[in-house]
Chain A
Amino acid sequence: MTTEPGLDGPLISALVGTRRFFTKAAVSQDRRTIDYQGGRQGDSFYRDRWAHDKVVRSTHGVNCTGSCSWKVYVKDGVITWESQQTDYPSTGPDKPEYEPRGCPRGAAFSWYTYSPTRVRYPYVRGVLLEMYRAAKAEHPDPVDAWASIVTDPEKARAYKSVRGKGGLVRSTWAEVDELIAAAYVHTIEAHGPDRIAGFSPIPAMSPVSYASGARFNELIGAPMLSFYDWYADLPNASPQMFGDQTDVPESGDWWDAGYLIMWGSNVPLTRTPDAHWMTEARYRGQKVIAVAPDYAENVKFADEWVTTAPGTDGALAMAMGHVLLKEYFVDRSIDFFTDYNQRFTDVPFLITLEDNGSGAYTPGKFLVAGDVDGHAQASSENAMWKPMVMDDATGEVVAPNGSIGFRYGEEGMGKWNLDLGDVTPRLSMYAAGSATQEAVTVILPRFDTPDGSMADKVRGVPVHRVGNRLVTTVLDLLLAHYGVERAGLPGTWPTGYDDAAAAATPAWASAITGVPEEQITRLAREWAQNAIDTKGRGMILMGAGTNHWYHSDQIYRAMLVLTSITGCQGRNGGGWAHYVGQEKVRPIMGFQHMAFALDWVRPPRHMNQTAYWYVNTSQYRYDTFDADDINGGTGLFKGRSTMDLLAQAARLGWAPSYPQFNKSSLTVADDAAAAGVAAPAYVAAQLKSGELKFAIEDPEAPENFPRILSLWRANLFGSSAKGNEYFLKHLLGTDNAVKATEAGEEHRPEGIVWPEKAGEGKLDLLLTLDFRMTSSTLFSDVVLPAATWYEKHDINTTDMHPFVHSFNPAIAPPWQSKSDWETWKGIAKRFSELAKDRLGVRKDVVAKPLWHDTPEAMATVHGRVLDWGKGECEPVPGKTLPALVEVERDYGAIYDKMIAIGPLMEKVGMLTKGVAYNVEREMGQLRERFSTVRTGVAAGQPKMETDIQVAEAIMYLSGTCNGHLATHGFKFLEKRTGHELHDLSAEHEGKQITFADTQAAPVPVITSPEWSGSETGGRRYSPFTINIERSKPFHTLTGRQQFYLDHDWMIGMGEAMPVYRPPLNMTKLFGESPVGTQSELGVSVRYLTPHNKWSIHSEYQDNLFMLSLSRGGQTIWMSVEDADKIGVKDNDWIEAVNRNGVVACRAIVSHRMPEGTVYMHHAQDRLIDVPLTETDGKRGGIHNSLTRILVKPSHIIGGYAQHAYFFNYIGPTGNNRDEVTTIRKRTAKVEY
């Protein structure tokens, strides 16, 4: 039966239809709907809701790489909400755009403005404030008052032991400024300025704000603590291989890739505003691979999901390398690969083989010109710094241009380049079928044993004789190391790809990683073929998943073999794309000079934060093993502790170490003056005689404690503090959950004083500036109310896009909050007043490590370690000792210096990454723009009083924002390289980005020698394109990308070449239960702390919108299998316990998690819905309550080419992924 279409039955339709007669609106003919036109009073509700008074451009100063420009809406003087700006300059007609940029976290930011977690006034812990007020009544001088508290053990214990336990009371700005200033003056007077430290992370997100406290700290002589290495985001593989901190493609360059591997990088979650480039590039025919142990958010977009076991990525990369090397370098050769490697990698360089006495050899040092007696280059300048290749045409060895030996000195002028001239470097010493072919057996390391300890591989390499030396090439060693057999060579080789017993075959990697052998082989072939087809447009996005391990440098080096050997590095759409914490302060040069007060005093005190806390939170005392155990038992560090190695690194000037000496650095200067000896010579003599010691040699002595720590833009205690409970115990002296035992006699460091009891509550003052309550504000003695990102001026950049844009106040800072710049100015002013008479003008001896990108990096010939402490050489400042520099501190003039740009800019100029700049022109411009100071220490200097002026100074003093300066820098480089470069910035020579420009719209930056890639002509930024296209060397020993590292320690640790090293064995090192075991305490699992979808580190995790979209509090994700083992269901309360601490939280159970691994998304602060634990009845911990610091020795190597220190460039990482924990279901009642 067919019916006419209609509604309901006819009767009902008629009845309901009568409503037509009661409304003015038109009911549709078929009576389904009502249509209105005009006169809709009902609409006005939402129109009113939408109405606003103004829209202000600002952004978020959060520690992420988004750098998104936002519209902030204001109505009736109140911030209402925000949405993204869409006015980024175009990428061109044939590419997607950067609009819109943002994420749900940023979209929720305005909630903080008026939220109950907002810090509205200055606060001090009541116990301390009462004591201070009482002391003031007794001592009229605030400094005396402060001293009377901190020098009284009872009083000090009283306020330190209640840290974090509430009782904050409101104070006034005048009172807190005075109290803080008094603490600084007392500390400098009693202990020296290096007992103070400042910490603020990643400047790119708000360089003015970073510079505020940094400038104050550096002016008084206090070290700034690094962040990039501390976060474990710094890939040490980058300095090791490229001689560069990190430089990566902007996300728009993903579009250019033909093949994209997301390897441990969960793009939708951690690069939310950039993820669209990946989803869109797929439509252009890009193949996308996701390597992840779980079904991560990015796996949804990938053509293939490669499920590696956590921490085994190095094995996967090695096996792919095995296939590449065999099929594209041995079975056949590809011109594209050969040409690239001849010029841009160290593959053809010659390595000397060392006879190990048993007929076999071990790979040794690069053969350098100075080694070859009688060679024409043997007597050239820096001959010991000129590695050699063999010319294929002549068979002669030659040191080609471009190595570090050409970078410095007169002879190298115009020759620091990658030109080969007539030389054709021979990639291999192998001559198939040649009767004269010589070959030897080499012993190479492998660490793929269950406990990660070293075993030998016996392989063979073809050799050549240079004088009495046997040499082979890096390629020959790589082939041997990767197990690629060539006919006629000695040694034991894999029988094929399916030989699971032989290191580096696909079958071997399959057994370790769980990835099918066929998939590994195919991925390698696809990767290579794509590189050939696209001329190097293959890209690997690598992230925290592969970078936060103890042995991440090895994982990365194995991955970088894939990108470099196939000619993908230095290409648009190609190479590595390291995406974790890699934020880029594009105007780096101006920033560095202003933030570290290099306009007034040089050098700055820069400290690597990992070592700082390893020492100062006494975590070294819990190393129940020696450095050789944790490094695979190679024997190099036998009987020595990691702490010994750190002390050695400090002693030899490899790595910074503050507090510096066991005496105030001011006193040391006085003593030198009294002795009538120049400070460097005096200190060297005192150290040699043992009269003076490094503070690191006696870290538990009260005179060597860190005394003041200031945090701004930072939440150390809720986010990055690996070994959080050790911080609470030793640094703060409050409640903690440390259960670990200290090292027994046999594992204690030799050269370090070891008192029975380590210090507790070492810190006198913890000061935090923030706009919201965090773990750090909770534990702080003084909390200062900060302006939010919608209440101040600043600038913002990232490496994910090429624009600089601004913060602007949508409203004035409410209540008593202030911008960081104003707060630090206030502290500096009060400090100067109190310090003028008390401290006056002093001399300070700064011990500075040997710096990268300076001739100091040529301190250690062949990377041979000679220790003056063991009498192996003389202590020579700047060579075998840190550089020792005497500087002046005018403590009464700190404020005056802070708000004016100092005279060193013109007297000395600027130096960044080895390029020198004369900035007289810019200083003249700044004088005109900002006016000059009339009187005092800064008379005649440009003023820099406001936040906008700091921003502009940064931009005027950087080539990325000042086309003239970029051109100037390139011209300097042209002299050294002999190649034209200044055309790269010529198109913008007259351009100067001003703050007003950044307020109007995001502004594209200018190509500058500060970075390795080019934006010239509007191209997408990709790193190292200048190196590859303009023949500019990498900042390494060879000037090339280096697969081979020949420092004594690298060789001794078995890491001369990339090698697979499994995650640390926490059972062997610490006695934790092996992963997978079950007991009455629960199930033992690998404990990973990846980034959270609902926060950026600790920011936003407390935001009500984010909590409403997630689970409302701390959680751990676990697999269905592990949950079953302990009887846990989704949302049940659980407890995770190991020797480091306790976490009490909820479980999220999901089949997207692999068995044996749990994720506690990091930096879920302990402030939201965290109960008391059933383990110890104290407040549950944060993610870092279960971790601790473990220092890898290779990261503290210094004084040797690219292994040389610079701030955030190289250093021990705060890695934390090797950790394990036991998890069980909570049975006790949940109480708060």
Chain B
Amino acid sequence: MRVMAQMAMVMNLDKCIGCHTCSVTCKQAWTNRNGMEYVWFNNVETRPGLGYPRRWQDQEEWKGGWTLKNGHLQLKTGGRLQKLLNIFSNPKMPGMDDYYEPWTYDYETLLNAPLQKNFPVAQPHSLITGKTMNVKWSANWDDDLGGAQEYAPKDPMLKGIEDKVKFEFEKTFMFYLPRICEHCLNPACAASCPSGAIYKREEDGIVLVDQDKCRGWRMCVSGCPYKKVYFNHKTGKAEKCTFCYPRIEVGIPTVCSETCVGRLRYIGIILYDPDKVLAAASVEDDQALYEAQLGCFLDPFDPEVQRAAEQQGIPMDWMEAARKSPVRRLIQDYKVALPLHPEYRTMPMVWYVPPLSPVVDVVKDTGHDAEEMGNLFGAIDALRIPVEYLAGLFTAGDIEPVNGVLRKLAAMRSYMRDINLGRDPDASIPEAVGMGEEEMYEMFRLLAIAKYNERY
């Protein structure tokens, strides 16, 4: 057994308010500079919607991530030799239109305009060409379902469930998906890089681009199925989310996490066995990948794991951090966090708690007590957000794990209502979702009270 530590994140989508504070603080700190105008290491997408860059999830088009060929894992863009051969012409790159053409305004005219016939106004012009332009797309164009009628049907995740999603007023639903680099256990970007410039830090698994080594081949941009590696068009090098390692190293959470006013991000260490990763990423069935990835993770309470870690020189405080890790609890203990697109086979390490609400909307025309647990469970099957859509994001289409999470969240609310009202708690509620009372209460504390020291 080999023991490695991975810095990982969980985002509770059920709490995300779609405010984009994470995007702005990240951009201000990291990508607010020439060549990176269009780059958002952290972005937030309204789903259903197209995302940033547009339709990034459509791997038929972009060929990101890995695929299984004859039982062997290979980059979807083709073998790596293929990559080397295509190094000068890479057709699988999102273009400026797929991201957006960044722009600014001639603000100075507001002060400097000479006396004139009409009130002065600042017009937009392109940060790429410098010419005046017509703003037609942005990093967040379809925010809050803006233009959804036109764009959302092209959301790749609606494929196959078109009949379950209607873009009509009464049937509206949406949720937000904040995204950063997944810092994968099996990063396709690193595997794509002909220069060996992308590496995974041994001590914490953070995936970085060596700015000295990068030669700007951009194979990583194609290789990453999440489209979270970007090309700096001024320096000619690839850049990506660094998991804020200069902060992490001194014990401060990432910018996006600490500034998340929804308090929905958790950071922590997950222990895993790197020797299990390849096999796990190579399981035949896409829907088995979630379980396979869980299988790579190690239990820091397991004496055997502790012994191995000690032998391999993992510091004691890292082991302690792994035991306390809120991310580990959400992923491994409560199993309420799920990976984003496990079918890309990159073994992503930013996981998500799927959104629960609005859960009881379907009972509105009846006289039933909507908070009663039976109704809550029943309602999950008829969620405003179709479970199939969530399953498409998190479990390669398998609705059971998603249902499991939603039931746990619903049960937690029902269980806690008794406590809130000063009634005796009902042990059968956690039991119904395979949890103990203690465990459910602790999960409540982690998700709801979520103190700073417990989130990170």
Q: In the complex the two chains form, what is the Cα distance from A16 to B223 in whole Å?
A: 16
Which residues of A (1156-1215) have their CB < 8 Å from a CB of B? 1166-1172, 1178-1179
A838 to chain B, nearest CB (A): 33
Contact A1179 B119 (CB under 8 A): yes
Chain A residues, CB < 8 A from B274: 28-29
Q: In the complex the two chains form, what is the Cα distance from A1111 to B174 in whole Å?
A: 19
Which residues of B (412-436) have their CB < 8 Å from a CB of A? 412-421
Residue in B closest to A115 when the chains form the complex, CB atoms: B107
Partner of A1155, one of B14, B79, B169, B419: B169
Contact A15 B357 (CB under 8 A): no
Contact A32 B17 (CB under 8 A): no
Q: Type the 1/0 row for A34-62, where 1 means its CB is closer than 8 Å to any CB of B.
A: 11110011110111011100000000000
Stretch of A296-304, A432-440, A540-548, A874-882 at the chain-chain interface: A296-304
Q: Type the 1/0 row for B137-168, where 1 means its CB is closer than 8 Å to any CB of A.
A: 01111011111111100000000000000011
Q: Does B380 contact A (CB under 8 A)?
A: no
Partner of A33, one of B17, B121, B139, B200: B200
Partner of A102, one of B30, B261, B366: B261
B415 to chain A, nearest CB (A): 7
Q: In the complex the two chains form, what is the Cα distance from A1159 to B168 in whole Å?
A: 18
Residue in B closest to A1117 when the chains form the complex, CB atoms: B146
Contact B211 A45 (CB under 8 A): yes
Partner of B209, one of A42, A95, A258, A303: A42
Chain A residues, CB < 8 A from B210: 40-42
Partner of B143, one of A101, A108, A276, A1109: A1109
Contact B262 A127 (CB under 8 A): no
Q: In the complex the two chains form, what is the Cα distance from A1155 to B169 in whole Å?
A: 9
Partner of A519, one of B119, B208, B244, B365: B365
Residue in A closest to B168 when the chains form the complex, CB atoms: A1151
Q: Does A103 contact B (CB under 8 A)?
A: yes
Contact A1169 B124 (CB under 8 A): yes
Q: Does A7 contact B (CB under 8 A)?
A: yes
Q: A34-B198, A37-B202 are in contact. Are A43 and B245 (CB under 8 A)?
A: yes
Q: Does B25 contact A (CB under 8 A)?
A: yes
Contact A283 B121 (CB under 8 A): no
Q: Does A864 contact B (CB under 8 A)?
A: no
Q: Type the 1/0 row for A871-898, where 1 means its CB is closer than 8 Å to any CB of B.
A: 0000000000000000000000000000
Chain B residues, CB < 8 A from A32: 186-187, 190-191, 277-278
Q: A9-B79, A272-B17 are in contact. Are A1169 and B448 (CB under 8 A)?
A: no
Contact B355 A300 (CB under 8 A): yes
Contact A284 B361 (CB under 8 A): no
Residue in A closest to B134 when the chains form the complex, CB atoms: A1230
Partner of A1111, one of B121, B141, B200, B414: B141
Stretch of B97-105, B303-311, B388-396, B398-406 at the chain-chain interface: B97-105
Q: Does B128 contact A (CB under 8 A)?
A: no
Q: A165-B116, A778-B119 are in contact. Are A107 and B18 (CB under 8 A)?
A: no
Q: Type the 1/0 row for A887-913, where 1 means its CB is closer than 8 Å to any CB of B.
A: 000000000000000000000000000
Contact B29 A275 (CB under 8 A): no
Chain B residues, CB < 8 A from A116: 106-108
Q: Does B201 contact A (CB under 8 A)?
A: yes
Residue in B closest to A123 when the chains form the complex, CB atoms: B111
Q: Does B59 contact A (CB under 8 A)?
A: no
B90 to chain A, nearest CB (A): 17
B112 to chain A, nearest CB (A): 8
Q: Does A677 contact B (CB under 8 A)?
A: no
Q: Does A126 contact B (CB under 8 A)?
A: yes
Chain A residues, CB < 8 A from B104: 1104
Chain A residues, CB < 8 A from B172: 295, 299, 1151-1152
Interface centre among B17, B136, B244, B370 (most CB of A within 10 A): B17
Contact B123 A3 (CB under 8 A): no
Stretch of B252-260, B293-301, B320-328 at the chain-chain interface: B252-260
A60 to chain B, nearest CB (A): 13
Chain A residues, CB < 8 A from B452: 86, 97, 99
Contact A303 B17 (CB under 8 A): no
Chain A residues, CB < 8 A from B135: 1111-1113, 1169
Chain A residues, CB < 8 A from B213: 42
Q: Does B228 contact A (CB under 8 A)?
A: no
Contact A1150 B148 (CB under 8 A): yes
Residue in A closest to B253 when the chains form the complex, CB atoms: A86
Contact A302 B358 (CB under 8 A): yes
Chain B residues, CB < 8 A from A394: none
Q: A32-B191, A300-B174 are in contact. Are A1150 and B124 (CB under 8 A)?
A: no
Q: Does A285 contact B (CB under 8 A)?
A: yes
Chain A residues, CB < 8 A from B278: 5-7, 30, 32
Stretch of A19-27, A139-147, A177-185 at the chain-chain interface: A19-27
Chain A residues, CB < 8 A from B382: none
Contact A167 B24 (CB under 8 A): no
Chain B residues, CB < 8 A from A34: 190, 196, 198-200
Q: Does B70 contact A (CB under 8 A)?
A: yes
Contact B282 A5 (CB under 8 A): yes
Contact A100 B449 (CB under 8 A): no
Chain A residues, CB < 8 A from B198: 34
Q: Does A94 contact B (CB under 8 A)?
A: yes
Chain B residues, CB < 8 A from A30: 275, 277-278
Which residues of A (65-101) have their CB < 8 Å from a CB of B? 80-84, 86, 94-97, 99-101
Contact A12 B168 (CB under 8 A): no
A59 to chain B, nearest CB (A): 14
Partner of B32, one of A81, A1107, A1148: A81
Q: In the complex the two chains form, what is the Cα distance from A6 to B141 in whole Å?
A: 41
Contact A304 B419 (CB under 8 A): no
Partner of A9, one of B15, B72, B139: B72
Contact B242 A268 (CB under 8 A): no
A1110 to chain B, nearest CB (A): 7
Contact B143 A282 (CB under 8 A): no
Partner of B149, one of A297, A516, A1150, A1168: A1150
Contact B117 A104 (CB under 8 A): no
Residue in A closest to B262 when the chains form the complex, CB atoms: A276
Chain A residues, CB < 8 A from B169: 295, 1119, 1151-1155
Q: In the complex the two chains form, what is the Cα distance from A334 to B170 in whole Å?
A: 37
B177 to chain A, nearest CB (A): 13
Q: Does B203 contact A (CB under 8 A)?
A: yes
Q: Type the 1/0 row for A164-187, where 1 means its CB is closer than 8 Å to any CB of B.
A: 111110000000000000000000
A596 to chain B, nearest CB (A): 33
Contact A1131 B261 (CB under 8 A): no
Q: In the complex the two chains form, what is the Cα distance from A165 to B118 in whole Å?
A: 6
A-B contact pairs, 24 of them (CB 8 A): A6-B72, A22-B196, A35-B199, A36-B199, A50-B247, A51-B246, A103-B261, A108-B28, A126-B115, A258-B417, A276-B17, A276-B262, A282-B413, A283-B413, A284-B413, A285-B371, A285-B415, A285-B421, A299-B358, A305-B361, A307-B170, A518-B365, A1105-B24, A1169-B135
Q: Given A30-B277, A272-B19, 13 other A-B contacts at CB below 8 A? A: A3-B72, A81-B32, A83-B29, A97-B451, A110-B28, A272-B21, A275-B262, A286-B420, A302-B358, A303-B371, A1093-B143, A1109-B20, A1151-B172
Instruction: Please report A residues at the B interface, Cβ cutoff 8 Å.
Output: 1-9, 12, 15-16, 19, 22-23, 25-26, 28-30, 32-37, 40-43, 45-47, 49-51, 80-84, 86, 94-97, 99-104, 107-108, 110, 115-117, 119, 123, 126-127, 162, 164-168, 258, 268, 272-273, 275-276, 279-287, 295, 297, 299-305, 307, 516, 518-519, 521-522, 526, 533-534, 735, 773, 778, 1093, 1102, 1104-1105, 1107-1113, 1117, 1119-1120, 1129-1131, 1148-1155, 1166-1172, 1178-1179, 1232
Instruction: Please report B residues at the A interface, Cβ cutoff 8 Å.
Output: 14-15, 17-21, 23-25, 27-30, 32, 70-75, 79-81, 84, 102-108, 110-111, 113-124, 135-136, 138-141, 143-151, 167-170, 172-175, 186-187, 190-191, 196-203, 208-213, 242, 244-247, 255, 258-264, 274-275, 277-279, 281-282, 355, 357-361, 364-367, 369-371, 409, 412-421, 444, 447-452
